[in-house]
Amino acid sequence: MPEEASSSCISHTDLLALVGEYMDASDVEKVNQAYLLAFKAHDGVIRKSGEPYIYHPIAVAYTLADLHMDVDTVRAALLHDVIEDTEYSKKDISDMFGEVVADLVDGVTKLAGGEFTTRDEAAAASFQKMMAAMTHDYRVVLIKLADRLHNVQTLNVRSPSSTRRIAKETLAIHVPLARRMGMNTLRKDLQLTAFKQLYPWRSALLEKNMDKLLEEHANEHKEIIHNIKTALAAKNIEADVFSWEKNLYKLYKRISKGTSHKQLTKFTESLELRVLVNNSIDCYTALGIVHQLFHPKVGSFKDFIATPKGYGFQALQSALITPQRQLIFVQIQSHEMFQIAQYGITASKRFPELLKSSGKSQMYLNRWLEQVEEIQNITGTAAEFLEDMKADLFLSEIYVSTPRGEVKVLPKGSTPVDFAYAIHTEVGNKCISAIIDGQPARLNTRLGNGATVLIVTDQDAVPSPTWLNFAVTAKARSSIRSWIKTRKSHEFIELGEKILEKTLSAHKQSLSSVPKGNIQKTLTALNLENTDALFTNIANGNQSAKLVAKRLLDSDSLTSLDENSKDQLLLIKGTEGLAVNLQKCCYPIPTDSIVAYPDKHNGLEVHRDNCPTLARIGLSHKQDIFSIAWVDNTSKESHFLAALNLQVRNRVGVLSHITDLLEKMDINIEDINISGDKEMKDMYFLIQVRDGAHLRLVAESLNNQSHVINVVRVFDDKKH
C-alpha cells in the first residue's frame, strides 16, 4: 500500500473517509483504484515544496469530495495530471475508468507547450480547450478550479515572479469563472488566497486592522444582531442572523483606488450581516422589519430575488445606518438561496434534503454554457476567445429591459450594441441606433442600470468594425468579429478575382477562357486549395496578378505578358466595403487621380496619386502599385471624407460663420482642429463631400468668407 501523506497534507485515508460519508462501498473502491493509478503514475515525482506529487491530486479530489461531487468527478480529479505529465494516454484512462472520466481528465489537460511560440498563446489555447470541454460537461471547470485553488495555496515555494503571475491570473480568470459558476465559497477561497500570495504584507496589515475594528465594536455588533433577531421573532419570522466576513480583496481594491478613506472606521466600513429565513415571502417581510428598525440608506436597496443575477444569485440587499452611525450591509435570503449562492450547481449535491428547486442553478448554467458554445463557434483565435470571455466573466452587472419588459443582464459599461446582440445576433447585426428611456441615443452610449432600451434596426444595415472599440460583452464582440471576417473574406475573393480579370483582359483573355488544366496547375504550383484562396492571395498582395496571369496562360501567350504591358484600369466606387480602403493620409474622393496597392489586412489601399505617403511606400512596393479609377456612375448619395485647411484672421465669430456656412450647404463636419497665434489661425476641417466638384464648390464658398485668407486641400501623413 502506498505511504500516507505527512501530517501537513490531506492523505489518501482522509479522502476515502470523506467520500465514504456519501458514496456507497463500490464507489469508494472506484475512487481508491483511481488513487492507486495516480500514485503509480506520479511515483518518484517531487513538487517544488519537496513533497511527493501525489499530495496535489489528493488535495484537488478532496476539495471536490467536500462538495459531494460524484465518483467520476473525484476519480478524474485524482487523475487530472496523468495525461499531461506521465506516459499514460487518454485511451489508457478510458480503458481503465471509462470514457466519462477520460473526457474529464482530457478537458483539464493543457495543450502541449511546443505547439506555441509564447506562454500567453499556450495559456489562451488551453483555456479555450477547457471551456469547449465545459460546454459538454461543466465538471471540467470544477476540477480546474479545485486544481487552481491548491496551486495558489502552495505558491510560497515558487519564485516571486512566478507567484505574482499565477496569483494575477487567478484573480483575472479563475475567480470570476468560479463566480460565474455560482460557486461563491470556492470563489472566495481562490480570491483571498491569491490576494495574500500577491500582496502578503498588504493583506496581513488590512486583515489586522479589520480584526481590530471588529474587536473594538464587538459589543455594539452583538447588540445590533440581537435587536434584529428580537424584532424578527416578534413578527413570528424564523431567522438565522449572523455576521459575515468582510471581503478583504474588494476592500483593498476600493482603498487602493483612492475612493475610500484609508482609515477603517465604523462610519466607513459596514458591518456585514446575513439574515436567513424560510422562503421568499419571509425575505420581503424581514426587509420591512429591518427597515423599520434601522434607517435605510437612500438608493442602496437591491432586489435580486425578483431579478436574479446572471448566474442565479438571489437575495435582498440593503444598507442601513444605526442611531450610533454604524453602517450595516444586510443581505436577506432563504436558506435555499443562501446555499445556492455559496455552492452553485453543486449545492443540490451537498444539501439534497434542503434544496427543492435545484434545477434553478442548472437552468442558469445551461444558459451560460449555450452562450459559451456560441462564442466558441464564431470566435477566430484562442486569444480573441480569452479576451471575450474575460469581458463576459467580470460581473459588475446592470439590468436593462426591452419596452416589453424582458430583462437582460449585462456587464457594467455595456452599450446598445451589447444589448442588441443579447436579444439576438441578427438584431445586433442590423442595429443602427437606440432609444433609451424614450430619448434617441447613439450606439456607443453607456447604459445605466434599470434603463429601458428600444433597438432601431435597418435591414440594409451591417456591423461596423468601430463597434469593437466600445462593445463589452463576449457575445457582441465575437459576433462583430465573425461578421467582419466573413464579410472581409468574401470581399477579398471578389476583389482578387476582379484584379486578375483586369490583368488578363489587357491581353484579351479572361478566366473563362483559361483552360481548367492550367488553373489546376497554377493552384498546385502555388500550393493553394482552390480559386478562392488564389483570389484572396491576389487581393492581399501575397501573389502578383501579373505573375499568376503568366502561369494561367499557355506558353504562346507568355511573350505578350512582359512587365511593361499596360495595365487595364481597375474601376472602384470607393464604397465596396472592407476590401477597398480609402486611406486617411490623403482622403481620396471621386474624380481624383488614384492608385492602389494590396495590403494583407486591409485589402486594396487607395491613395491619391500625389500622396506623400505613397511615395514612401513606393520605394519597397513599386511592383505592387497599380492604376485604378473611379466608376463614372458614383452614387450621389455616397459621401467621402476630405480634409481642408483654412488660414483665417483671428476674429470674434469667424469659426461660427464658417460652421454656419457648412450647415447651410448641408456639409457634415467630422473633425475640427485649430492652431496658430493671436493674429492668424489655421483651421483643419474634415468634412463629407460627394466628389471633387462638390469639394471645389465648398472650398470656393469658404474662400469668399470675410477673414478667410486661404483654403487648401491637405494631406495628413500622420494618419497613415
Q: What is the arithmetic mean of pLDDT over 3-10?
A: 53
Q: How far apart are alpha carbons 122 and 111 in whole angstroms? A: 7
Query: Domain 204-357 belongs to what topology?
Result: Beta Polymerase; domain 2 (3.30.460)
User: How far is 299 from 92, CA to CA, in rounded Å?
Assistant: 59
In this predicted structure, what is the pLDDT of residue 308?
Answer: 84
Q: Which one of 27, 66, 84, 374 is the catalytic residue?
A: 84
Q: What are phi and psi of 715, to 5 degrees?
A: -105, 150
What is the chain's mean pLDDT, rounded? 83
Question: How far is Cα 318 from Cα 558, in angstroms, rounded to an integer?
Answer: 82
Given a contact cutoff of 8 angstroms between Cβ atoms, the answer to whether 419 and 400 are in contact is yes
3-state secondary structure of 628: strand
Alpha helix (H) ranges present in 170-307? 175-180, 184-198, 200-216, 218-234, 248-256, 280-293
pLDDT band for position 716 (cuts 50, 70, 90)? low
Ramachandran class of 275: left when φ > 0, alpha when ψ lies in -120 to 50, beta otherwise: beta
Q: Is the pLDDT of residue 264 over 70?
A: yes
Mean pLDDT calculated for residue range 652-663: 90
Q: What is the arithmetic mean of pLDDT over 551-578?
A: 58
Q: In this structure, what are the phi and psi dihedrals at residue 714, rounded to the nearest 5 degrees? A: -120, 160
Question: What residue ranges do the domains of the chain occupy?
Answer: 12-198, 204-357, 473-568, 569-720
Q: Which residues pair with 468 in a beta bridge?
A: none
* Interstrand relation of 397-401 and 431-436 (parallel, antiparallel or unpaired): unpaired
Could you read off the pLDDT of 81-127 as tens digits, one per residue? Answer: 999 888 899 999 999 999 999 999 988 886 544 444 566 777 777 77
3-class secondary structure per residue, 271-339: EEEEEEECCHHHHHHHHHHHHHHCEECCCCCEECCCCCCCCCCCCEEEEEECCCCCEEEEEEEEHHHHH
Cell reading at 584: 486617411
Q: What are the Cα distances from residue 372, in Å, to 128, 375, 392, 595?
A: 10, 5, 9, 44
Cβ–Cβ < 8 Å for 38, 78: yes
Q: What angle do CA 665, 667, 671 make, to 5 degrees?
A: 145
Plot region of 575 (φ>0 → left; ψ -120 to 50 → alpha; else → beta): alpha
- Please choose, from the candidates 104, 112, 21, 103, the residue with its C-alpha nearest in 3D space to the C-alpha of residue 60: 104
Please report the pLDDT score of residue 354 as a whole number: 60
Q: What does the pLDDT read at residue 6?
A: 43
**What is residue 79's predicted lDDT score, i.e. its pLDDT?**
95
CB under 8 Å to 236, separation ≥6 — which residues? none
Position 362: which residue type? Q
Residue 581 or 457, more confident: 457
Domain 12-198 belongs to what topology?
Hypothetical protein af1432 (1.10.3210)
Q: Is 84 one of the annotated active-site residues of the chain?
A: yes
* Count of CB atoms situated within 10 Å of the CB of 430: 18
Query: Higher confidence at residue 372 or residue 212?
Result: 212
R_g over Cα of the chain: 33
With a CB cutoff of 8 Å and minimum separation 6, the contacts of 489 are 536
Cell of 295: 434607517
Q: CA-to-CA distance for 160 and 144, rounded, in angstroms?
A: 23
- Residues 248 and 206: beta-carbon distance below 8 Å: yes
Q: What is the DSSP letter of 441?
A: E
How far is CA 443 from each of CA 244, 433, 435, 471, 589, rounded to the nearest angstrom? 41, 5, 10, 9, 27
C-alpha distance from residue 403 to each of 307, 313, 406 (Å): 16, 25, 8
Q: What is the pLDDT of residue 39?
A: 93
> Looking at the domain that runs over 569-720, which CATH code has it been given?
3.30.70.260
644 beta partners = 685, 713
pLDDT band at 556 (very low <50, low <70, confident <90, very high): very low
Task: Tell me how far apart the terminal alpha carbons of the chain are, to the nearest angstrom.
Answer: 71
| Higher-scoring residue by pLDDT: 228, 626 | 228
pLDDT tens string 290-340: 999 999 988 889 898 988 877 778 999 999 998 888 889 999 999 989 988
Q: Give yes or no for a contact between 269 and 210, defined as CB atoms under 8 angstroms apart.
A: yes
Contact 717, 705 (CB under 8 A): no
Among residues 27, 51, 70, 85, which one is catalytic? 85
C-alpha cell at 249: 480583496
Report whether 689 contacts 588 (CB < 8 A): no
> CA dihedral defined by 678, 684, 685, 691, rounded to 10 degrees?
140
pLDDT of 1 > 50? The answer is no
Angle 542-547-549 (CA atoms, 0-180°, nearest 5)?
Answer: 115
What span, in angstroms and rounded, lies between the C-alpha atoms of 148 and 167?
10
Rounded distance, CA 624 to CA 537, Å?
Answer: 13
Give the pTM. 0.67
pLDDT tens-digit series, residues 391-417:
666 556 778 888 888 878 888 888 999
Nearest to 301 by CA among 272, 337, 271, 330: 330
Q: Which residue has the higher pLDDT, 333 or 541?
A: 333
SS3 665: coil
Distance CA(641)–CA(689), nearest Å, equals 6
Contact 155, 190 (CB under 8 A): no
Kindly state the average pLDDT of the residues 129-133.
79
* 595 bridge partner residues: 607, 627
Place of cell 465518483: 71
Side-chain-facing half-sphere of 337: CA atoms under 13 Å: 24
Band (pLDDT 50/70/90 cuts) for residue 572 is confident
Residues 6+ apart with CB under 8 A from 138: 181, 345, 365, 369
Largest CA distance in the chain: 104
| Residue-level pLDDT at 409 | 80
Supply the pLDDT for residue 2.
46
Residues in the chain: 720
User: Among 376, 377, 473, which Cα is nearest to 417's?
Assistant: 473
Taking residues 218-246, what's their average pLDDT?
Answer: 93
